[in-house]
């Protein structure tokens, strides 16, 4: 078992409004190597929040998330920040629908960057980055261009290439297929299948689960445990730029 989640809860407290915003509470599930878990549920029920909490972009309110890292077993909820940073560098991957392109950094540089941080030779990093962009179908003439000017779909190809360029043991996928064309969608599915066969565990939130048809092993359903008039506030709206 690579991940064991016990009674995981997350709520946000907005000091200015003196208000608590509920995301989810008392979640329990496990995940094994090579397993693909789909997180299902209505909009705003906290699916993305769950992924972000496991990645520690959000701080859990309570519970445990035992992760079996290469360095030993550790609770992702309470692990030191530097330990989480190490795991993100080596084992944990997060794939979002958003790319944060930086001015004057080319597509191929952006994709190669994680490899350079991991100590790869520049030539080899660039070679692998090009192959990844090729796979997701980004037009060759755009490889040296700056993604700040790309369309949403093209940015997403760069983003996927970057997010999936390094080997990972646990991948968190937050709507990775949103805004992708048919070719890129198929490429992504193929890539995920390959990773799954290599033993990578995955937890995904998908708008169209059919994009991952044949890959999904299990599903957990998140439901809102709030009374209907509790006025759920989507936390993303509150915090993400």
Partner 1 sequence: MMATSVNDLILEPPRLVKHTPLLTVTNINKQYGQVIALEEVNVELYPREVLGVVGESGSGKSTLLRMLNLEENPDSGAYHLEIPSYQDQNLFELSRFERRQLRVKQIGIVYQNPHLGLRMRNSSSGNVAERLVVAGERNFSRLRAAAKRSLEVSEFPVTRMDDPPKNLSGGMQQRVQLAKAIALKPALLLLDEPTTGLDVSVQALVLDTLRRLQRDLGIAMLVVSHDLGVIRTLSDRVMVMRHGRVVEQGLTDQVLEDPQHPYTQQLVHAKL
Tell the smallest beta-carbon distance from residue 77 to partner 1 (Å): 7
Q: Does 234 bind partner 1 (CB under 8 A)?
A: no
- β-bridge pairing 218-221 and 92-95: unpaired
- β-bridge pairing 218-221 and 36-40: parallel
Tell the smallest beta-carbon distance from residue 18 to partner 1 (Å): 7
Tokens matching residue 150: 């790309």
Q: Does 20 bind partner 1 (CB under 8 A)?
A: yes
Report the Cα 151 to chain-centroid distance in Å: 21
Tokens matching residue 176: 């990775």
Tell the smallest beta-carbon distance from residue 190 to partner 1 (Å): 29
Q: Does 169 bind partner 1 (CB under 8 A)?
A: no
Q: Does 145 bind partner 1 (CB under 8 A)?
A: no
Tell the smallest beta-carbon distance from residue 96 to partner 1 (Å): 11
Torsion-angle region of 72 (φ positive above 0: left; ψ -120 to 50: alpha; else: beta):
left
**Alpha-carbon dihedral 110, 186, 49, 85, rounded to 10 degrees:** -40
| Site residues, partner 1 (CB under 8 A) | 12-16, 18-20, 22, 52, 56-62, 69, 71-72, 74-75, 77-87, 102-105, 113, 116-117, 230, 235, 239-241
């Amino acid at each position: 078992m690579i991940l064991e989640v016990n009674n995981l809860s997350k709520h946000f407290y907005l000091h200015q409004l003196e208000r608590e915003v509920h995301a989810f509470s008392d979640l329990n599930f496990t995940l094994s190597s090579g397993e693909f878990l789909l997180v299902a549920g209505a909009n705003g029920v906290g699916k993305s929040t769950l992924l972000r909490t496991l990645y520690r972009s959000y701080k859990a309110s309570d519970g445990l998330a035992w992760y079996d890292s290469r360095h030993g077993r550790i609770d992702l909820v309470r692990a030191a920040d530097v330990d989480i940073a190490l795991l993100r560098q080596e084992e944990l991957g997060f794939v979002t629908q958003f790319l944060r392109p930086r001015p004057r950094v080319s597509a191929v540089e952006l994709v190669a960057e994680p490899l350079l941080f991991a100590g790869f030779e520049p030539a080899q990093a660039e070679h692998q980055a090009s192959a990844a962009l090729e796979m997701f179908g980004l037009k060759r003439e755009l490889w040296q261009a700056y993604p700040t000017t790309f369309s949403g779909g093209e940015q997403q190809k760069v983003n996927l290439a970057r997010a999936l360029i390094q080997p990972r043991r646990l991948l968190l996928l937050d709507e990775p297929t949103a805004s992708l064309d048919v070719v890129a969608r198929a490429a992504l599915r193929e890539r995920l299948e390959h990773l799954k066969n290599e033993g990578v565990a995955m937890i995904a939130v998908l708008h169209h689960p059919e994009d991952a048809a044949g890959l999904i092993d299990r599903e957990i359903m998140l439901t809102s445990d709030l009374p209907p008039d509790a006025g759920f506030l989507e936390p993303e709206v509150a915090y993400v730029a």
